[in-house]
Structure 1
Amino acid sequence: MAQTSSKIGGGLLVAVLLAGSYTFSVLNPGGGGTQQPAGDTSTPAVYVPPATKTPTSSTAPGTSVTPCSNCGGGGSLPHHILAGYWHNFTNGSTALRLNNINANYSLIIVAFTNTDPGKPGTVTFSIDPSLSSALGGYSQDAFINDITTLHAQGKKVIISVGGQNSSVSVNSADTATNFANSIHELMKTYGFDGVDIDLEQGINANSMASALRQLSALAGPDLIITLAPQTLDMQSTGHDYFQLALNIKDILTVVNTQFYNSGTMLGCDGKVYAQGTVDFLTAQACIQLQGGLRPDQIGLGLPAIASAAGSGYVAPSVVNDALSCLAAGKNCGSFKPSTTYPDIRGAMTWSINWDATSSYNFANTVGSHLGTLSG
């Protein structure tokens, strides 16, 4: 998530068919924007659709579904959720207090923590002075009071680690412990309900899994854990982000993959799909469903408006089509999953602030649609 303009990462990925297998090359790894790291430009492992496509859960369209009882983590979040990032900085989008967020957002992700250079793995947080000034004064106490207000409305607020400027590294036992302890302190100080991992410059799956398990032991079963990998990071279970998701599956709330700024990718059927289409969203989500994640652990991450990302923007109505396709087999494009996933968790957007510049078109369109999904 870029703090100065948009969430731009990755590059244009071109799938090349060679003797029945697929390789990838990365072109223009800096993407189309500014102030954003290139992300993971390593050659990904080849995704091979499993011989037997056994879904983690399925229900015939139209069948009623009770809320899943085995969801790992997440406290009292709704069955289907709309998540959005809130800017703790100014960048040309709408500056907002937490208590002025559109009511359709059930999970607010505060972006971002800072790094403590004197204690590796440790993160900190404070209200950005430029934001406070833009809002006519926004103190720590006011911020905490706003989180309390959101809690009273049934909303959850978590803190995000990563984004464009992050330099935190969790790659050892000591840094994992430092990370867990520092996030827990922020939760106690501000009232955060959990943590979002948005490390776009690489991740150590084992060390981060250890850190999040330590945090879970400190915070208890209501801890919310979300991940925000780039599309490339979830192309194969061999990738570190996918490994992390599977390593913490029992305590993981949702993976909100950034289905944008990614170029062309393979879908779970081995076909090539261009970003910015309903097929891209559904065929990418299918990889995660077939790779071992539950439907309730998968969210579709999209930019709220075109200027919030370098590429891959789709109208909110297309997000709705993708959710309907996955949940009920309706409004699909050329790709249609072999089964339905009425427990699909929902959507995420970068960002609430960018959404506010368009009168919350994303939240109003996608948020209202989530209530119509089966389950």
Structure 2
Amino acid sequence: MRRSRTFVLSVIGALAAAIGAVGLAPAAYAAGVTASFVKTSDWGSGWEGKYTISNGGSTTVNGWSLAFDLPAGTTVGTYWDALLTSSGQRYTFTNRSWNGAIAPGASVSFGFLGSGSGVPANCRLNGAACAGGTTPTTPPPTTPPPTTPPPTTPPPTTPPPTTPPPTTGLPKHILTGYWHNFDNPAAELRLRDVPTEYDLVAVAFADATGTPGAVGFAIDPGLSASLGGYSDADFSADVRTLQSRGKKVIISVGGETGRVVVDSSASAVAFADSVYALIQRYGFDGVDIDLENGLNPTYMAQALRSLRSKVGSGLIIAMAPQTIDMQNPAGSYFKLALDIKDILTVVNTQFYNSGAMLGCDNNSAYAQGTVNFIVALACIQLEAGLRPDQVGLGLPAGPGAAGGGIVPPSVVNAALDCLTRGTNCGSFRPPRTYPGLRGAMTWSINWDITNNNAFARTVAPHLRTLP
């Protein structure tokens, strides 16, 4: 989610990616540190690749950056367990917050998908030549694997799980919107003035404090000034006002500039304790995880389970991952969602600012801003283990709200119809329907009001008609 007018997330999203292996003798950087590549699958139109960085030296490696070139016509798309930047055909992967340190004798890995016949060349690890040969350690198969599909391919016949969701007091289908606790070009408003179409309001954002893992919240002075005075006490009263109308209000953690890091048991405890304190102080109904700068699924799961033990079964737990974070069940955000599926309320993936990406058919790169894109990417989550009631469609609320992927609200309704009824689909059709789909989310309520509340007035009534 974004605090400014627009942003552009530079994520390569073509057909998935890449592959090959390359390496020269290790240089002086850190003797014994190597990077090796293996092609783990090949399904004809795409490949899956994996790099493993091993520390055979005697000192800990603190942070890594691995870069390689691909020839024209070969591109990297989906990736996991690393961050990616690119310049032309040069791709650079760097560590996430939880896998940058490699102790002597240990190793870490990251993976990616891609298209094209080329293989990586000119591989460099922390500026030095990568170790390893120019041929993958495991010869790639020459025919599509008959039993092991690539990670985004859905199981064709297994129906989604039907375990009932936790009781949270929310309707079957909900509209979620984010409320700005900051001053930007979108309309400013008091929490009590949120339009009645919204069922779940996420307050953006709680921020990091000086204690690792801990978060804090207070009304932004700039927002208060724009509103002619708006205090913490006013805000707390407004939370109660929305709840008296049957709405739920949760605190969102993170955002574009958020720097909350939960990467140890101690920081997990601090996160749970601090969010619980905010719930007690302001009356929030739950928490939304919107971390765009690294997420450790192990310790965040620990934190959220601890928080639920404090609050009880009515706690709402939402997530707002970027599109790239929900491409592969082994990725950090997706893994967290699956690991806490028994207490998770909803994952509202941001289906925007992402470029083209593979859908659950794994055969085409769908362009953002289309019914096909929304449906094919939501299908990945629905077929990889999340219940339909845990999947929401996140879209921008019109001009100004995002850098790409903005669609008319009617397109959101068409995607909802396609997923729940099998009607109004584009060229992509999911393998089954999901009548229990939770609903839609928008960034943001403020931008929606700026754009004449078109998103809520169009999507909310349609949600009430879904099966």
Q: Is TM more than 0.5 here? A: yes
Cα deviation, 1:60-99, whole Å, max 9, x if unaligned, reads: xxxxxxxx881135x1001000000000001110001011
How far residue 307 of structure 1 moved from its aligned partner, in angstroms, is 1.7
Q: State the distance in 1 between where 2:95 and 2:284 align.
A: 27
Query: Is the alpha carbon distance of 1:26 and 1:15 closer, same or farther for their aligned partners in structure 2, counting shifts above 3 Å?
Result: closer
Aligned pair 1:56/2:148, yes or no? no
Q: State the distance in 1 between where 2:112 and 2:308 align.
A: 30
How far residue 10 of structure 1 moved from its aligned partner, in angstroms, is 4.2
Q: Aligned AA for 2:249?
A: V
1:207 corresponds to: 299
Structure 2 residue matching 1:53: 3-state secondary structure:
coil
Q: Aligned AA for 1:187?
A: I
8 Å Cα contact 1:120/1:175 also seen in 2:
yes
Q: Aligned AA for 1:316?
A: P
Q: State the distance in 2 between where 1:51 and 1:198 align.
A: 28
Aligned pair 1:303/2:414, yes or no? no
Tell me: higher relative CO, structure 1 or 2? Use CA pairs within 8 A at least 6 residues apart.
1
8 Å Cα contact 2:16/2:112 also seen in 1:
no
How many residues matched?
Answer: 354
Aligned pair 1:255/2:347, yes or no? yes
Percent identical pairs in the alignment equals: 52
Structure 2 residue matching 1:308: 3-state secondary structure:
coil
RMSD: 2.1
Structure 2 residue matching 1:307: 3-state secondary structure:
coil
Structure 1 residue matching 2:171: 3-state secondary structure:
coil
Unmatched segments (≥5 aa) in structure 1: 31-37, 58-67
1:350 corresponds to: 443
1:21 corresponds to: 46
2:166 corresponds to: 72
Shifted more, 19-28 versus 126-135: the winner is 19-28
How far residue 359 of structure 1 moved from its aligned partner, in angstroms, is 1.5
Cα deviation, 1:24-51, whole Å, max 9, x if unaligned, reads: 5269959xxxxxxx998x7546534245
8 Å Cα contact 2:174/2:439 also seen in 1:
yes
Cα deviation, 1:283-337, whole Å, max 9, x if unaligned, reads: 0010001110000000000000132101011110000000000000010000111
2:3 corresponds to: 3
Cα deviation, 1:163-197, whole Å, max 9, x if unaligned, reads: 11111100000000000000000000000011000
2:102 corresponds to: none
Q: Aligned AA for 1:161?
A: V
Structure 2 residue matching 1:287: 3-state secondary structure:
helix
How far residue 21 of structure 1 moved from its aligned partner, in angstroms, is 2.3
How far residue 243 of structure 1 moved from its aligned partner, in angstroms, is 0.2
Q: Aligned AA for 1:79?
A: K
Query: Is the alpha carbon distance of 1:29 and 1:2 closer, same or farther for their aligned partners in structure 2, counting shifts above 3 Å?
Result: farther
Structure 2 residue matching 1:250: 3-state secondary structure:
coil
Structure 2 residue matching 1:162: 3-state secondary structure:
strand
Q: State the distance in 1 between where 2:382 and 2:433 align.
A: 11
Q: Aligned AA for 1:71?
A: P
8 Å Cα contact 2:155/2:383 also seen in 1:
no
Q: State the distance in 2 between where 1:294 and 1:106 align.
A: 20
Q: State the distance in 1 between where 2:297 and 2:177 align.
A: 24
How far residue 9 of structure 1 moved from its aligned partner, in angstroms, is 2.8
1:186 corresponds to: 278
8 Å Cα contact 2:393/2:440 also seen in 1:
yes
Unmatched segments (≥5 aa) in structure 2: 19-43, 49-74, 79-83, 87-93, 97-109, 114-149
Structure 2 residue matching 1:177: 3-state secondary structure:
helix
Shifted more, 345-354 versus 9-18: the winner is 9-18
8 Å Cα contact 2:17/2:112 also seen in 1:
no
Structure 2 residue matching 1:367: 3-state secondary structure:
helix
Aligned pair 1:227/2:319, yes or no? yes
8 Å Cα contact 1:184/1:215 also seen in 2:
yes
Cα deviation, 1:205-236, whole Å, max 9, x if unaligned, reads: 00000000000000100000001111111111
2:200 corresponds to: 107
Query: Is the alpha carbon distance of 1:308 and 1:183 closer, same or farther for their aligned partners in structure 2, counting shifts above 3 Å?
Result: same
How far residue 20 of structure 1 moved from its aligned partner, in angstroms, is 3.3
1:217 to 309, 316, 335: 309
Q: Aligned AA for 2:277?
A: E
2:122 corresponds to: none
Q: State the distance in 2 between where 1:236 and 1:161 align.
A: 23
Aligned positions of 1:1-375 closer than 5 A: 1-6=1-6, 8-16=8-16, 19-22=44-47, 25=76, 29=85, 44=112, 47-56=151-160, 70-72=164-166, 75-117=168-210, 119-270=211-362, 271-374=364-467
Q: Which has the larger radius of gyration?
A: 2
8 Å Cα contact 2:152/2:380 also seen in 1:
no
Q: State the distance in 2 between where 1:218 and 1:181 align.
A: 9
Shifted more, 4-13 versus 350-359: the winner is 4-13
Q: State the distance in 1 between where 2:16 and 2:417 align.
A: 30
Query: Is the alpha carbon distance of 1:50 and 1:259 closer, same or farther for their aligned partners in structure 2, counting shifts above 3 Å?
Result: closer
2:61 corresponds to: none
1:34 corresponds to: none
What TM-score do you get using the length of structure 2 for normalisation?
Answer: 0.73
8 Å Cα contact 1:234/1:242 also seen in 2:
yes
How far residue 162 of structure 1 moved from its aligned partner, in angstroms, is 0.6
Cα deviation, 1:126-165, whole Å, max 9, x if unaligned, reads: 0000000000100111101111010000000000111111
Of Structure 1 and Structure 2, the greater helix share is in: 1
8 Å Cα contact 2:316/2:345 also seen in 1:
yes
Of Structure 1 and Structure 2, the greater strand share is in: 2
